[in-house]
Amino acid sequence: MFRTYATARHECDVLPYPRCDRICPDHTCLYHGAVADIVEAGRYEATWSQADDSDRADGTRDATWHACDLAAYELLEYPPDDATPEQIAQINDSRRRAGLCFAQQMLAADSNELPRSSRSIIDNLPTTSTGEG
């Protein structure tokens, strides 16, 4: 009952960022508020900037995704050792979505980033975590 209530409270008719429909196709912004708090706190600004610079130099998005995964870890831990395969998959999918939400919000906060570039960056993130399963 609580899950149904909480999910309904996070429904979003107007998607705040360009790739929200791909990250959470059910238009439920479960991570938006918590990720916004992390972005606003600025704890990952230096990590994000260094990762972005590194990835632009080498043509990948691996370091950027690592920064996203670090931020997502604040919201969702790695699966416990006794988790079922289904639970592991669900937790990892939630962390991936939270990481992508973080990337979108960091890109949106960067006044030098054009929307087209932001979409391209989101689309090219590897979205796998070293701590999965």
User: Residues 85-126: pLDDT tens digits?
Assistant: 999 999 999 999 999 999 999 999 998 888 888 989 999 999
- Beta strands, E only, 9-101: none
pLDDT of residue 133: 38
Q: Is the pTM of this model over 0.75?
A: yes
What whole-number distance in Å separates Cα of residue 116 and Cα of residue 125? 15
Share the mean pLDDT of the chain.
85
- Residue 77: phi and psi, rounded to 5, are -75, 170
What whole-number distance in Å separates Cα of residue 78 and Cα of residue 30? 18
